[in-house]
Every structure is written in C-alpha cells, then in structure tokens.
A and B are shown apart, each in its own frame.
Chain A
Amino acid sequence: MDEMHRFLDHGFIWFSWLAALLTLGALGLFLGFLGVNGLAALNLGLFFGEASPWQVIMGGQPAGEGIWPACVGTVYLVVLSSLLALPLGIGSGVYLAQYASPAPKRLFGFAVDLLAGIPSILMGLFGFALILFLRKTLFPQANTCLLLSAVCLALLVLPYLILTTQSSLEGLPAPIKVAGLSLGFTPWQNLVHILLPAASRGILSGIILAVGRAAEDTAVILLTGVVANAGTPQSLTDKYAALPFHIFYLAAEHRTTGELAQAYGAALILLLLTGTLYAIAYWLHATLVNKWEQKNIMLRR
C-alpha cells in the first residue's frame, strides 16, 4: 500500500510537470507561429490596401484589400452592443444583488444562468429567426444588418455583465453594505454613493470582459449580417465586415499568398485586442480582491 502511494505521489509530480510542459509547449507553438507570420504582415497596407489612409478614413474611398472596414465594423459592433447591454446588464445585476426577494432572485438567476450557457450559434440563429418572423409580420423590409448583430451580441454578453455586477456587489464586506443604510441613506443612495463605487472595479472588469467577448465572436455575426466584402458601414441597417469573420473567410478562401499574409496580420491584431482587454479585466478584478481582502469571491463562470 505504501509502495503504491509513493508511486502515485511521484507519478503525479511527473505528470503535473508533463502537463505544464505540454500545455506551455503547445501554447508557445501556436503563438510563435502566429507571431512570426503575423508580424511580417503588419504594415499600413494591411489596413488600407493600396489606397492612402487619409483617403479611406476621410474620403470614404474603398480600402481595396485592406482590413480597415473590418476593424471599423468590429468597433461599431462592440460599441453598439455595449450601449444596449450595459444598462440592461448592470441594472439587472444591481436588482438581483440588492432589491430582489429570494424567489424572484432564484428564478431570474436561473434564467441568467441559462442565457449564459446558450451557445453563440443559437444567438445567431435567434437573430436570423427574428428577421424571418419580422418579415412575415411587422417589417417586410427587415434584413440582417449591423443593428441585428448588435442586438444578438448584446444578448450574448448580457450574462457576463449581470453575473459580475451581482457577484461584485454581493461580495462586498457586510460593514460596507450597511454603513450607508445605518446613516439613513435610501437603498438607491446607498448604491450610488457607496456600493457601486466600491464594487466599481469588479463591474468594470465585467464590462471589459463583455467588450472582449463581443469583439471576438464569430458565430453570431455569421448568421446576422456580416459579409466578406463591404465598406465601412454607413447606417445601422447596412451589412458590414468584421475582423473575426474576415479571418475565418480568408482562412478558408484566400486566393493569393498576399491574402493569407493579411489573414495572419488580422489574426494577430484581433489577438492583441482581446488579449489586452482580458488582461486588463483580470488585473482589475485581482486588485478588487486584494482591495477588500475577500477571498470568498467565487467567479460563477
């Protein structure tokens, strides 16, 4: 028995080292491959093709083979979906943390968990179905577009916002939560003046997570209006291009090595974008934890 235990102990140590080396190796291989090929493609031509940057940005000239329209499309998507999701998400999180009585809290908590678990392609399918439905009933002119994608993306990131807001607020130390109330603040004043500022880092990290998720998602926009060739979107009902889809499209259908190099460049840029966002979100959340010495904050997802 003793022998077996010792064998398992040593075996586990070896195994854990192996696991770490394998994972780091695979990760390094991936990132190195992408970095080497991507860096080689990083130049102004990547974004603007053969047109001059000024002409493209100010004059509305098409960017040819450049990925500028895709970058702009991604930015618009992120901004729009955040505008939609932030009030809903933070509002819901606040309600669930502060105002809800146990029964609605459990019910809505379940709904939010369910929403969080829905695969992104189903969000896209929902958007597509919504358009089909609207065309038959209220809006015969309805079409897949930027607005639809933003709505579906907002639904996708809503759970992140709700859950992080809720857990940040609930994770505050009890003395903080009641101090204001004991001084005569109403619950809302307590929230605005004390609780939200205190939980701000956690909430902010949730916002950044949501932004990062919206920027990288491909499955939703695939079904709700993204196309491979478009200029910068001029209105909410336009079709548009976006970085993740552009990468996907070029991976499958690049016609020249130049286009493939462009795909590497775009992938590198997207990676840098989301990587930075997640790093900031993590740093914010970590400093929040340190700030309140709350080792009991459990990330629900």
Chain B
Amino acid sequence: MMKTGPFLSREKISSRQLRRASRQEALIRGLLFGATLISGLAVGAILGFLAYFSLPLVFQGQAGQILDWRWRPFQGDFGILPMIVGSLLLAFSALLLAYPLGVGLCGFVFSQRQKPWGRLVLLAVRLMTGVPTVVYGFVSVFLLVPLIRTWFAQGTGFSWLAATLTLSLLILPTIVLLTWAQLEHTAIELRLAAAALGFTPSQELLWILLPQASRGLLAAVILGFGRAVGDTLVALMLAGNAPQIPDSPLDALRTLTSHIALVLATDSTSLAYQSVFASGLILFGLAAAVNLALRWLKSPAW
C-alpha cells in the first residue's frame, strides 16, 4: 500500500479517526508547551535562587556592608564595590579596543570581498568563535603576560592590560559577525544607487552602509559588552585578582565573575558566601539590562 498521509487515503475518514488525530495534536501541543514552559521557568529559577540566598543579607541588615570598598574577609570587610568597578572597567576597555578594530575588519572584508584574502579574513574571524575561552586565557598567560612584564618593567604582567587585550580578541568575532550580518542585509537598492553614483567600496561603506546600519552597530556594542562583562576565565587567569581599583593599566583588578569563582573555590565564611550571591544578583541585573537594551533597539526597526 502506498504510504500517504492519513487524509489522502481513498477511504472515507471516520469521525473516530478525526477525533484521535485531534487528540494527538492536542497532546503534542501540550508536550511542546511543557518543554517551553520548563525553559522559561529556568530563568525564573535562577533568579529565584540568587535572590533567596542573598536574602539573609537584607534581613540581617548587612547589605550596607557588601556595598563597601574594601574586601578583606579576615578583617571583616566584605565590600564588593571594587569588583563591580573592575567588571565595568574591563568590559569598557575591551570594548573600546575591540569595537574600532571590529568595524575596521568589517571594512576590510567588505572592500576586499571579491578578493580571496577578504573571504579568508572573514573565515578566520568565523573560526575564532570556535576557540575556547580557556585556550585564549592559557596562551595569554604564557605569551602575553611575560611580554607585558618585560616590556613595561613594572608589575607582574597579570594586569588590567593583559586581560583587556585578551578579552578584546575574544569579543572581536561577536562584533565583526554581527556588523557583517547587518551589512549583508542592507537593501540592494542602496548599494546599486551608490554604485551608480560612483562611490568606491570604502566610500560606500563609510557614508552609506555604516550610517544606515547604525542600529545594528549599536546592537554589536551592547552584545559585545554583555559578553565581556559575563566572561570569567580571562579575568580569572589574567587580571591578577587583587580586590582593588587599579591605578594604572598595569595594576591588577578583580571582576565580579572571577570573584564568584575565587570565593566559592577557596573561601568558607558565611558572609563571604552571601556576598557571592549578591555579586551574582548584580551580574544578573547587568545581563538583563543588556538584554532590555537590545530589545528596545530591535523593536521600532521590526
């Protein structure tokens, strides 16, 4: 018998068959909804746990202690403000380096897209997304840190600078690929008009495509920032982990993410634990802010 869908058979369809099919549909729909519900609840669960474990802080009135500038558990100081500043400093500096580089790379790929080396660079950037973070950190520890130490003859090499350089390399593909996706999708009419007016590729890029894709460029900034602020390993392996605000790029700093990893791996007093959950909440807030910013960007355009 030829296999056809149930409704293509030659027999009349009984009402029982119809009912069974629609029950099946309802069951499947229910199952899939369940799957989606679980995925959605996961976020809620994460937020819930973070809040639950940070609660004792509020109830015992120690929230003020956490929002302090000194982290010295043996002396009873549990301030995480240096870590918040550290996260923001590192993320902004990495972005400051990676963003122009990313736009420049996009320009290169665009203007050279007919040539083999243009496509090669794009492929290289795409493959960069496949390099694990731990490998970036690992290679930097043995390549970059000694270089910085000997070049500047100051500090240990484990510094804000080392972490920034590696982190920019890490977020570069995100920025480039997102911007490139924007450029690819620009209306063909604009490109034809530019060609008709005699623009060179780089002029077309600078004066028409990039301004037109400004929303996408902003999205790339925000996404890159989110990625930079959420990264743990680069900061943990390269930034020196001193709980202070750095005076210079060659000083050490500590981020919220590496703080969580360090404290949970090595600390044991209860207030330290709670400070970790507070750090987690703040990180969650940052991630949510990034998300909202992206959403706001997307909505009018869509």
Question: Do A and B have CB atoms closer than 8 angstroms in the complex?
Answer: yes
Q: Which stretch from A8-16, A41-49, A168-176 is at the chain B interface?
A: A8-16
A251 touching B137, Cβ below 8 Å: yes
Select one of A112, A126, A267 contacting B45, CB under 8 A: A126
Binary per-residue interface labels of chain A (94-134) against chain B in the complex, 1 for a CB within 8 Å, 0 otherwise: 11100110000001101111110111111111101110110
A16-B111 in contact given A27-B124, A117-B226, A122-B50 (Cβ < 8 Å): yes
B257 touching A18, Cβ below 8 Å: no
Q: Which residues of A contact B109 (CB under 8 A)?
A: 20
* Distance between Cα atoms of A41 and B59 in the complex (Å): 54
Closest CB in chain B relative to A225 CB, distance in Å: 12
User: Is B56 positioned at the interface, with any CB of A under 8 Å from its CB?
Assistant: no
User: Is A29 positioned at the interface, with any CB of B under 8 Å from its CB?
Assistant: yes
Q: Which residues of A contact B42 (CB under 8 A)?
A: 115, 155, 158
A248 touching B130, Cβ below 8 Å: no
Select one of B49, B105, B130, B135 contacting A247, CB under 8 A: B135
A244 touching B46, Cβ below 8 Å: no
User: Is A26 positioned at the interface, with any CB of B under 8 Å from its CB?
Assistant: yes
Q: Which residues of A contact B212 (CB under 8 A)?
A: none
B141 touching A120, Cβ below 8 Å: no
B105 touching A23, Cβ below 8 Å: yes
User: Is B53 positioned at the interface, with any CB of A under 8 Å from its CB?
Assistant: yes
Q: Which residues of A contact B295 (CB under 8 A)?
A: 110, 113
* Distance between Cα atoms of A221 and B22 in the complex (Å): 44
Binary per-residue interface labels of chain B (1-13) against chain A in the complex, 1 for a CB within 8 Å, 0 otherwise: 0000111100000
Q: Which residues of A contact B267 (CB under 8 A)?
A: none
B78-129 contacts to A, CB under 8 A, are 100-109, 111, 121, 124-129
A23 touching B101, Cβ below 8 Å: yes
Select one of A95, A162, A248, A270 contacting B33, CB under 8 A: A95
Counting contact residues on chain A (CB < 8 A from B), the size range is: 35 or more
Q: Which stretch from B63-71, B243-251, B277-285 is at the chain A interface?
A: B277-285
A186 touching B264, Cβ below 8 Å: no
* Distance between Cα atoms of A239 and B39 in the complex (Å): 26
User: Is B229 positioned at the interface, with any CB of A under 8 Å from its CB?
Assistant: yes
Q: Which residues of B contact A247 (CB under 8 A)?
A: 134-135, 138
Select one of B49, B104, B290, B291 contacting A16, CB under 8 A: B104
A263-B138 in contact given A114-B291, A185-B7, A270-B132 (Cβ < 8 Å): yes
User: Is A83 positioned at the interface, with any CB of B under 8 Å from its CB?
Assistant: no
A183 touching B5, Cβ below 8 Å: yes
B137 touching A248, Cβ below 8 Å: yes
Cβ-Cβ contact count across A and B, 8 Å cutoff: 264
A298-B185 in contact given A91-B32, A92-B36, A216-B133 (Cβ < 8 Å): yes
A100 touching B127, Cβ below 8 Å: no
A187-B40 in contact given A13-B202, A117-B226, A120-B230 (Cβ < 8 Å): no
Closest CB in chain A relative to B224 CB, distance in Å: 12
A13 touching B111, Cβ below 8 Å: yes
Closest CB in chain B relative to A21 CB, distance in Å: 9
User: Is A231 positioned at the interface, with any CB of B under 8 Å from its CB?
Assistant: no
Please name the residue on chain B nearest to A159 by beta carbon. Answer: B39
A42-86 contacts to B, CB under 8 A, are none
Closest 10 CB pairs between A and B?
A19-B104, A119-B230, A278-B130, A91-B35, A216-B132, A16-B107, A95-B32, A184-B7, A16-B108, A111-B40
- Give residues in B with beta carbon < 8 Å to A: 5-8, 21-22, 24-25, 28-29, 31-36, 38-40, 42-46, 49-50, 52-53, 100-109, 111, 121, 124-139, 141-143, 169, 172, 177, 181, 184-185, 200, 202-203, 205-206, 223, 226, 229-233, 237, 257, 260-261, 264-265, 276-277, 280, 283-284, 287-288, 290-291, 294-295
6 sampled A-B residue pairs with Cβ under 8 A: A9-B202, A19-B101, A114-B287, A267-B135, A274-B130, A274-B131
